[in-house]
Structure 1
Amino acid sequence: MNARPASAVPSAAGFRYSLRGGAVEIANRLAAREDVDIAADLLAGSHLHAARSTETLRQWAAAAADLGHRMATDSGLDHDPSVPVTEEPGGLVGDQLVLARYLSRPPTVVLHPAAIAAAEAVVTAAGWATLFPAGTVRRAAIAHEVAHGLLDGPYRRRLRACAGPVLLRWGHRSWRGVVVGADEIAAHAYARIRLGLRRSPLLLAAAVTELVRPQPPTDPSRRTKES
Structure 2
Amino acid sequence: MRPLFFTGTGTDIGKTHVLCEIIRAWRASGRSMRVLKPVISGFDPSALNETDTIRLMRANEDALTGEGVQAVSPWRFRAPLSPDLAARKERRELALDKIVSWCLDHISRDMPTVIEGAGGVMSPIASDGLNLDLIRELDAHPVLVAGSYLGTISHTLTALRVLDGRCSVILNDHPESDTPIAETARTISRFAPRADIRVFDPAAPEALLDLFERAAETLLD
TM-score, normalized by length of structure 1?
Answer: 0.20
Higher gyration radius (CA):
1
